[in-house]
């Protein structure tokens, strides 16, 4: 790959600057000859009132913005250049000089147009050092990964988008990475991820790839040149609709970020009564004995048998100690074992008094049958009998 150092002013780079407010990305600069955000680039994430402002303040103080890299695409007509590294900084400057945000100067908010002339000139006359690179696609992508060592590192899916850029990524980002889409609010109830950092797209790809025995990378490589995303979109929508049709109450916060794709593959062949499932879900989420609220959904989908998913609260030491004392005192008076099951047996343990360490607490009425985890429902059993019981 070849690189050649150039020097541009901010005025030159931001000439003809176009910014897509809906998708939060800068589109063009250098009077239409520069693509500021190629499809392999992540969306604009500096617009937080801090990082974007810091870029402008650096220019006003005369500080360099660091090296920027453009790619010469070899195109026969404009645009000829694409930003390889530096699009967050360029977009911040472009947004400021076109009046998209303000900074504070001398205690007052100032847009670019309201700054004194000398400050406007200082910004527009600032020099940007730019390496223009040319080479094969593989070389460009490898360099893109190499220079991603400063600022805010690329998220894994942002990097995948760069590696597998093409019509499939373009279509997938349009569907899953538009933070302004009304669908994002619905999806956010089940998917944990920032669409601007490609988190929603990553989940959608993971869901559709896993049943095929593929990694996300494998799926993206196989579909890189696809012009549509029908399979990806359909599968994602199907999973979301399946979940919301079973648990019909307003989504609970614990639903966000679960492995809904895996759960769909495991359980979607079963039938459920949504009213019963929703009622049981609500009861379990309100039950103080349930320590793992996120396990409620798989517990119910699996038939309500695997209580390990719920991490049910155990009897505390004080309760166990009190139950042990109560049982032991009563057993000694009757000259029988303090384990109720040993006491009704026929072997030598029928009169054995176990130490507290040799016994375990058990629910008299099983927790799964709505038994409480309190002293009134606590029974101490010897370890052998307790571990031989089924539904505890």
Residue 211: its pLDDT value, please? 96
Q: Which of 259, 252, 362 is nearest to 312 (CA)?
A: 362
Mean pLDDT of the chain: 89
- Is the pLDDT confidence value at 304 over 50? yes
pLDDT (mean) for 229-250: 97
Q: Which of 95-104, 119-128, 163-172 has the lowest mean pLDDT?
A: 163-172
% of the chain exceeding 70 in pLDDT: 92
Greater confidence (303 vs 154) lies with 303
E strand segments, the chain: 2-9, 18-20, 25-29, 34-35, 68-72, 81-85, 103-105, 108-110, 127-134, 359-363, 378-382
Closest C-alpha to 190, from 223, 236, 138, 142: 236
pLDDT of residue 92: 93
The helix (H) or strand (E) run that includes residue 251 is none
Contact 363, 373 (CB under 8 A): yes
For position 22, what pLDDT does the model report? 64
Q: How large is the average pLDDT for residues 168-191?
A: 93
Which pLDDT tens digit goes with each residue over 330-358?
999 999 999 999 999 989 899 999 999 99
Average pLDDT over residues 243-249: 96
Write the CB contacts of 42 (distance below 8 Å, at least 6 apart in sequence): 154, 155, 158, 161, 196, 197, 198
pLDDT band at residue 392 using 50, 70 and 90 as cut-offs: very low
Question: Which pLDDT belongs to residue 391?
Answer: 46
Percent of the chain with pLDDT strictly greater than 90: 60
pLDDT band for position 203 (cuts 50, 70, 90): very high
Q: Give the mean pLDDT of 9-34.
A: 83
* 134-138, 245-249, 263-267, 385-389: the lowest-pLDDT one: 134-138
Residue 156's pLDDT band, with cuts at 50, 70 and 90, is: confident
Task: Break the chain into its structural domains and give their ranges.
Answer: 2-153, 317-389
d(CA 246, CA 222): 33
Residue with tokens 């499939």: 168
The pLDDT value given to residue 287: 85
């Amino acid at each position: 790959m070849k690189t050649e150092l150039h020097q541009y002013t901010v005025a030159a780079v931001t000439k003809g600057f176009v910014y897509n407010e809906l998708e939060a990305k800068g589109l063009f600069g250098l009077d239409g000859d520069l693509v500021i955000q190629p499809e392999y680039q992540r969306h604009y994430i500096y617009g937080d009132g801090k990082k974007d402002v810091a870029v402008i303040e650096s220019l006003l103080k005369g500080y360099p913005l660091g090296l920027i890299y453009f790619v010469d695409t070899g195109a026969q007509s404009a645009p000829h250049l694409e930003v390889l590294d530096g699009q967050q900084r360029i977009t911040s400057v472009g947004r400021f000089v076109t009046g998209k945000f303000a900074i504070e100067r001398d205690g007052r908010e100032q847009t670019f147009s309201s700054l004194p002339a000398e400050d406007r000139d200082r910004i527009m006359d600032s020099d940007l050092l730019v390496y223009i690179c040319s080479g094969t696609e593989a070389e460009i992508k490898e360099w893109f990964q190499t220079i991603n060592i400063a600022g805010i590192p690329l998220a894994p899916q942002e990097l995948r988008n760069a590696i597998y850029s093409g019509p499939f990524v373009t279509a997938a980002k349009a569907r899953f990475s538009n933070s302004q889409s009304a669908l994002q609010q619905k999806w956010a109830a089940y998917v944990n991820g920032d669409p601007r950092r490609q988190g929603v797209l990553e989940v959608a790809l993971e869901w559709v790839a896993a049943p095929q025995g593929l990694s996300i990378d494998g799926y993206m490589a196989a579909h890189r040149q696809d012009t549509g995303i029908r399979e990806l979109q359909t599968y994602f929508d199907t999973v979301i609709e399946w979940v919301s049709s079973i648990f019909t109450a307003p989504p609970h916060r614990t639903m966000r970020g679960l492995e809904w794709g895996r759960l769909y593959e495991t359980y979607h062949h079963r039938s459920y009564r949504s009213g019963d499932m929703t009622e049981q879900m609500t009861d379990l989420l309100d039950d103080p004995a349930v320590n793992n609220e996120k396990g409620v959904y798989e517990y119910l989908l699996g038939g309500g048998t695997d209580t390990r998913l719920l991490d049910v609260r155990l009897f505390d030491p004080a309760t166990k100690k009190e139950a042990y004392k109560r049982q032991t005192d009563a057993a000694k008076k009757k000259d029988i074992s303090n384990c109720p099951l040993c006491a009704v047996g026929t072997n030598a343990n029928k009169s054995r008094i176990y130490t507290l360490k040799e016994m375990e607490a058990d629910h008299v009425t099983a927790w799964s049958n709505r038994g409480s985890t309190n002293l009134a429902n606590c029974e101490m059993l010897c370890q052998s009998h307790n571990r031989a019981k089924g539904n505890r």
